[in-house]
């Protein structure tokens, strides 16, 4: 663990000069000394001590990725396929930008802010935050914030944060319109839980918009809430597949995961897709590809989401540009595959 002071002694110069070389301030150091110090740095394998940087508030170079999970779900959120994927992409981009990534899971905003303070975190990327928590973050935290897939209340339009999301409404709308174009009129909607919020809510609104534009009525009974526990969810799907579901020709799910899960339960009970139901997912992740028939779904570019969030955050960190609100909703793409077809004639 060689220090700046030691290097300074080694080359008979001051720590300041060494520091200047480390930071590439060529103008402040003679070419000769620059060279000498540079090679000393290499030879001794100098590694800067982040503690000293931290202590002097010279920038921790840490970006914290916060999984602000809904504690209702006792499952470890990082096992959710979407979060998995994006964490990988985030890590990659954070590293490329020269920062370090601290990963933290917490349902508590206060907890997360403690982390940020203790480590003098330079910026936060927040995943899975519901509007209420997002509000708390924005109000209580002055550090740069980037949300991913969070719909923040309009009243915060003037606040300083970044959000990178998806045109969930449009996605929900498009996929529903597609089903309608195939001839479906009896369509049910499935989501993860009863209380729709955030991306699921927008997808649902897009869905309803498509129906109402076409003059198709939608009632509460056409909405089905799925349990996050596999056994309960499966039992429920089995149950309704024998009863209520008979009246539908198409089923819209808020995620590929739920759609695939349902397809398999149906399969086990002799129900075939798309023969008996057309089924759609959302995300276009690996699940939609590793099933037969492949899922008709809404594609999104997860890598792009991660890169944009990190890049805007880093820009914000470096420019100290305050007061700029960035709210990007990326385009979606309808991916038509085998899980959808025209409604079979035998059905009403």
Partner DNA sequence: CTGTTAGCGCTTTCAT
Partner DNA sequence: ATGAAAGCGCTAACAG
CA distance 184 to 248: 9
Considering only residues 57 to 96 of the shown chain, the ones binding a second copy according to CB under 8 A are 60, 76-79, 81, 83-85, 87-89, 91-92, 95
CB of 39 to DNA, least distance (A): 15
Is there a contact between 105 and 78 (Cβ–Cβ < 8 Å)?
yes
Say whether residue 142 binds DNA (CB under 7 A).
no
What are the helix and strand counts (H, E) for the chain?
Answer: 13, 12
Say whether residue 98 binds DNA (CB under 7 A).
no
Q: Which of 39, 71, 103, 142 binds a second copy (CB under 8 A)?
A: 103
CB of 322 to DNA, least distance (A): 20
Say whether residue 117 binds a second copy (CB under 8 A).
yes
Q: Is 296 helix (H, G, I), strand (E, B) or coil?
A: strand
**Span between the terminal Cα atoms of the chain, in Å:** 77
E strand or H helix at 88, and its extent? helix 81-96
Q: Which long-range contacts (CB under 8 A, 24 or more apart) does 71-75 make?
A: 71/107, 72/193, 72/228, 73/228, 75/228
DSSP string, 135-156: HHHHHH--S-EEEES----GGG
- Chosen from DNA, a second copy, none, partner binding at 38 (C-beta under 5 to 8 Å by type): none
Q: Supply angle C-alpha 248, 260, 332, rounded to 5.
A: 85
CB of 114 to a second copy, least distance (A): 5
64: its two tokens: 């914290």
Q: Which stretch binds a second copy (CB under 8 A): 31-39, 168-176, 187-195, 259-267?
A: 259-267
- Chosen from a second copy, DNA, none, partner binding at 98 (C-beta under 5 to 8 Å by type): none
**Which lies closer to DNA via its Cβ, residue 22 or residue 328?**
22
CA distance 291 to 241: 20
Is there a contact between 13 and 41 (Cβ–Cβ < 8 Å)?
no
Site string for DNA, 39-78 (x = CB under 7 A): -------x-xx-xxx-xxxx--------------------
**Which lies closer to DNA via its Cβ, residue 4 or residue 191?**
4
Say whether residue 117 binds DNA (CB under 7 A).
no
Q: Supply angle C-alpha 182, 187, 191, rounded to 5.
A: 125
Is there a contact between 316 and 145 (Cβ–Cβ < 8 Å)?
no
Q: Which of 28, 232, 242, 321 binds DNA (CB under 7 A)?
A: 28
Q: Which of 19, 44, 301, 303 binds DNA (CB under 7 A)?
A: 19
- Chosen from a second copy, DNA, none, partner binding at 334 (C-beta under 5 to 8 Å by type): none
Say whether residue 9 binds DNA (CB under 7 A).
no
How many residues lie near a second copy (CB under 8 A)? 49
Tally of CA atoms within 13 A in the half-sphere of 348 that contains its CB: 6
Chain contacts with a second copy (rule: CB under 8 A): 1, 47-56, 60, 76-79, 81, 83-85, 87-89, 91-92, 95, 100-105, 114-115, 117-120, 260-261, 264, 267-268, 286-287, 289-292
Chain contacts with DNA (rule: CB under 7 A): 1, 3-5, 12-17, 19-20, 22-23, 27-33, 46, 48-49, 51-53, 55-58
């Amino acid at each position: 663990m060689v220090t700046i002071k030691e290097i300074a002694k080694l080359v008979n110069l001051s720590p300041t000069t060494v520091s200047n070389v480390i930071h590439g301030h060529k103008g402040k150091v003679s070419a000769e000394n620059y060279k000498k110090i540079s090679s000393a740095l290499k030879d001794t394998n100098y590694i800067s001590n982040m503690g000293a940087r931290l202590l002097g508030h010279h920038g921790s170079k840490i970006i914290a990725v916060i999984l602000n999970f809904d504690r209702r779900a006792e499952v470890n959120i990082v096992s959710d396929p979407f979060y998995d994927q994006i964490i990988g992409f985030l890590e990659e981009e954070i590293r490329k930008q020269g920062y370090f990534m601290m990963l933290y899971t917490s349902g508590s905003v206060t907890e997360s802010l403690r982390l940020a303070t203790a480590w003098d975190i330079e910026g936060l990327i927040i995943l899975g935050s519901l509007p209420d928590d997002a509000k708390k973050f924005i109000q209580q935290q002055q550090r740069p914030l980037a949300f991913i897939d969070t719909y923040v209340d309009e009243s915060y339009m003037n606040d300083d944060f970044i959000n990178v999301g998806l045109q969930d409404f449009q996605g929900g709308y498009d996929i529903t319109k597609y089903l309608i174009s195939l001839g479906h009129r009896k369509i049910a909607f499935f989501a993860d839980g009863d209380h729709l919020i955030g991306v699921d809510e927008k997808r649902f609104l897009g869905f309803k918009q498509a129906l109402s534009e076409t003059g198709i009525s939608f009632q509460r009974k056409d909405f089905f809430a799925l349990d996050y526990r596999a056994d309960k969810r499966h039992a429920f799907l089995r149950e309704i597949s024998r009863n209520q579901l008979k009246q539908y020709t198409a089923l819209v799910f808020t995620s590929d995961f739920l759609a695939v899960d349902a397809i398999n339960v149906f399969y086990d009970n002799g129900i075939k897709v798309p023969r008996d139901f057309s089924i759609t997912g959302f995300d276009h992740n690996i699940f939609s590809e590793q099933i037969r028939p492949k899922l008709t779904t809404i594609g999104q570019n997860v890598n792009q989401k991660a890169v944009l969030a990190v890049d805007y955050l880093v820009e914000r960190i470096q420019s100290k540009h305050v007061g700029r609100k960035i709210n990007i909703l990326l385009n979606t793409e309808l991916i038509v595959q085998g899980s959808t077809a025209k409604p079979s004639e035998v059905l009403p």
